[in-house]
Amino acid sequence: MEFTSVDPRVIIPTASLACYVIYKRYEPTDPLLNFLLLVGAPSALTLVVEEQATLLGVLRVLLAYWALLVLFTTAYRLSPFHPLAQFPGPTVAKVSKLYHVYMVLRGDPHIIIREWHDKYGDVVRIGPNELTFKRADAVYPILGARQLKKGPFYNIRVTEEGLPIDAIKDFDQHTIRRKPWTRALAPAALKDYEEIILTKTELLMEKLTERVGQDIDISAWMSYYSFDFMGKLAFAREFGMMNAGRDTEGLWHMMDTAVLALASLSVIPWIVPALKALPGAGNSVKRFQRIASTYGTHRVSTGSKSKDLWYYLMGEDGARQNADLQYDVTADAFTAVIAGSDTVATALSHFWYLMMRYPKCCERLCEEVDRTFPHGELPYDYNRLAEMPYLNACLNESMRVISPVLSGLQRRVELGSGGTMIGPQYVQEFSYFPLYSTFPLANQLFVHSFVPEGTNVSVHMTSLYHNPDTFSPLPDTFWPDRWLDQVSYDLPNGTSIPKREIKLDRASFVPFSVGQQSCPGKNLAWLQLRCIVALVMQRFRIKPAESYDLDRWEKETRDAHATLRGSLVVRLEMRT
Ligand code: HEM
């Protein structure tokens, strides 16, 4: 077939530019529309630019069209006209989020973004439309205020039953869904869970005692405990991991695969509708969501035999009537498993690693446990546990040195909001100031960052917690003393410093986040952390196994929004 040809040097760039404008303005996600824009339209162009419609001709036009699309996108993102042009950052990140996906798959966004902060400063552009902050004064403007909603990172968390609580962006809708969670995890409700806590912690102690003298992966055991605990608390279900000494239903490993898939796709949520069209894509996430929802549905159908998490979520405490009850409740099952079990296991695993890295701190903590609970008295007195200064200092310090959220929690400055101010940020070497060298203060200028609408923002927790402006001295060292209230402090090297030389910004230490969407499980988590640490310290001495190199732990810790952990092989010895 022969056609009249039009000058391809005009028509292809024009069509490609039009396509770019559509993407920039409307961000279409519909797979069919994407197909039409990316393949249909340029293929049709062949009819007007080529004299003969051949396969090679179509391919030529497609390649030219796509190359120009990439060129327009890159040029705009790097241009001074981009709203984030004034923010520094690596070119690879300014141009596309694909490098971020690669980091997630490698597991090191927490390390790389920290390096970027060291290189570029307090605010770094880590995506075409994304900024990360490392200063304490960014924490509340980003996470605390009821002003910035969750960002597109959370878009893909929807389950077949609907939105889980942690994916709800609308504050009013979130308030309704949050109420039963708050009641279920309020200090008054925790009293009802004491029986479950006691049974599960005692079982953990029994199983660890059976393994004294053997090499065991203590990180895996923390997961067996936390899954068994959450199975019982949330779903009245026995996973039986501690009894079997393994991941009985493959749940933990299924969850890790789903977490990695979720984390990498959450960075580029626009790709998900297209992926959904491909058979088999996202299977790991769907499988895990389905299994969690089965647990939820089963729990709903059996009703409450005792007061547990679902007793409150189902409104059996009489506080809630909702026609969509079952729909809501099973949608939260996915969150209950990930948020409630993996986080505690991760925090405890990092804790044991740091105890082995810093044996003097471990000895001091043992002494405090022995003093507080003498003569073998079991440490189940939660009030006394909460008042143990060194125990709480060690737990805080471990969550500071290795943050439970290694990177950030994304929020969005909504389109139409007109932008927001976040800061102030320290502008290093502000040498444009004419009297810069005359007035030393001029190079310590602090400015607020105006963040334009349509920008995703987060606080980079690893950078914040290791920022010497927030935590010093020794921001990179596990030094629990910084959390104690004293007149002077002995540093690990033997020197002594007065209190005024300690920088400790408690308000910016937010392992459970802050604001309306912060963790409702904070009290339960603290209770479990204190209790398990005191029990283990009282009964065992913990050492790295001979075959295990402690350096492996941090290398094998992977940042996938949730933390993926390697093995932590230890040998336990009885203390008494
Ligand atoms: C050391 C343990 C824990 C840590 C460090 C932790 C941390 C967090 C953080 C940082 C968030 C905010 C996530 C975001 O904004 O995307 C969160 C949310 C949440 N956590 Fe926890 N958590 C822990 C334990 C628990 C436990 C034991 C439970 C429940 C039994 C729980 C239930 C939840 C729920 C339901 C949310 C979503 C809240 C909402 O969107 O309103 N967490 N957690």
Each residue's pLDDT tens digit, 351-394:
999 999 999 999 999 999 999 999 889 999 999 999 999 999 99
Which segment, 195-209, 332-346, 412-426, is predicted with the most confidence on average? 195-209
**Ligand 1 mean position to 230 CA, how many Å?**
13
Mean pLDDT of 291-320: 81
Q: Could you tell me what percent of the chain has a pLDDT over 70?
A: 91
The CA-atom distances, in angstroms, between 82 and each of 16, 95, 121, 129, 526 are 19, 11, 20, 9, 44
Identify the band that residue 440 occupies on the pLDDT scale cut at 50, 70 and 90: very low
| Ligand 1 atom index nearest CA of 510 | 10
Using CB atoms within 10 Å of the CB of residue 306, give its burial: 0 to 12 exposed, 13 to 18 middle, 19+ buried: exposed
- Asked if residue 329 has pLDDT above 50, the reply is yes
The CA-atom distances, in angstroms, between 279 and each of 105, 154, 182, 274, 487 are 22, 23, 39, 11, 64
| Spatial distance between the Cα atoms of 508 and 513, rounded to a whole number of angstroms | 9
Range of lowest pLDDT (193-197, 296-300, 394-398, 539-543): 296-300
Global confidence as pTM: 0.91
**Ligand 1 mean position to 531 CA, how many Å?**
19
Identify the band that residue 424 occupies on the pLDDT scale cut at 50, 70 and 90: low
| Ligand 1 atom index nearest CA of 166 | 40
- Asked if residue 322 has pLDDT above 80, the reply is no
CA-nearest residue for atom 1, ligand 1, is 344
The helix-helix angle for 41-49 and 55-78 (nearest 10°) equals 120
**Ligand 1 mean position to 340 CA, how many Å?**
7
Cα 458 to chain center, whole Å?
A: 11
CA-nearest residue for atom 41, ligand 1, is 517
| Ligand 1 atom index nearest CA of 528 | 27
**Ligand 1 mean position to 432 CA, how many Å?**
44
- Asked if residue 443 has pLDDT above 60, the reply is no
pLDDT at site 432: 44
The helix-helix angle for 218-235 and 522-539 (nearest 10°) equals 140
pLDDT at site 502: 96
Cα 235 to chain center, whole Å?
A: 24
**Ligand 1 mean position to 529 CA, how many Å?**
14
Mean pLDDT of 152-178: 87
CA-nearest residue for atom 37, ligand 1, is 166
**Ligand 1 mean position to 338 CA, how many Å?**
9
Q: Name the token pair of 66.
A: 């796509």
The CA-atom distances, in angstroms, between 333 and each of 249, 294, 302, 347, 415 are 16, 9, 15, 21, 32
Tell me the pLDDT of the chain averaged across its residues: 88
Identify the band that residue 435 occupies on the pLDDT scale cut at 50, 70 and 90: very low
Higher-confidence residue of 185 and 263: namely 185
CA-nearest residue for atom 17, ligand 1, is 519
| Ligand 1 atom index nearest CA of 524 | 27
Q: 206 CB contacts (<8 Å, ≥6 apart)? A: none
Q: Which of 523, 495, 564, 465 is nearest to 113 (CA)?
A: 465
| Ligand 1 atom index nearest CA of 346 | 1
Helix (H) or strand (E) holding 523: helix 522-539
Q: Name the token pair of 261.
A: 């898939």
Which segment, 134-138, 220-224, 246-250, 301-305, is predicted with the most confidence on average? 220-224
Q: Please report, as a single letter, which amino acid is at residue 509.
A: F
**Ligand 1 mean position to 497 CA, how many Å?**
36
Mean pLDDT of 305-316: 84
**Ligand 1 mean position to 512 CA, how many Å?**
6
**Ligand 1 mean position to 109 CA, how many Å?**
21
**Ligand 1 mean position to 572 CA, how many Å?**
30
Phi-psi region of 217 (alpha: psi -120 to 50; beta: other; left: phi over 0): beta
Ligand 1 pocket at CB < 6 A: 165-166, 178, 181, 185, 335, 339-340, 343-344, 347, 404-405, 409, 511-513, 517-521, 524-525
Mean pLDDT of 286-313: 83
Each residue's pLDDT tens digit, 35-90:
898 888 888 888 887 777 788 888 988 999 999 999 999 999 999 999 999 999 99
| Ligand 1 atom index nearest CA of 168 | 40
CA-nearest residue for atom 14, ligand 1, is 409
**Ligand 1 mean position to 29 CA, how many Å?**
30
**Ligand 1 mean position to 561 CA, how many Å?**
12
Each residue's pLDDT tens digit, 464-475:
999 999 999 999
pLDDT at site 267: 81
CA-nearest residue for atom 36, ligand 1, is 519
| Ligand 1 atom index nearest CA of 184 | 30
| Spatial distance between the Cα atoms of 570 and 245, rounded to a whole number of angstroms | 15
CA-nearest residue for atom 43, ligand 1, is 519
Choose the residue to mutate in 150, 343, 464 for probing ligand 1, maximizing ligand atoms within 8 Å of C-beta.
343
Using CB atoms within 10 Å of the CB of residue 79, give its burial: 0 to 12 exposed, 13 to 18 middle, 19+ buried: exposed
Identify the band that residue 121 occupies on the pLDDT scale cut at 50, 70 and 90: very high
The CA-atom distances, in angstroms, between 15 and each of 36, 522, 539 are 13, 53, 72
Choose the residue to mutate in 170, 519, 524 for probing ligand 1, maximizing ligand atoms within 8 Å of C-beta.
519
**Ligand 1 mean position to 339 CA, how many Å?**
5
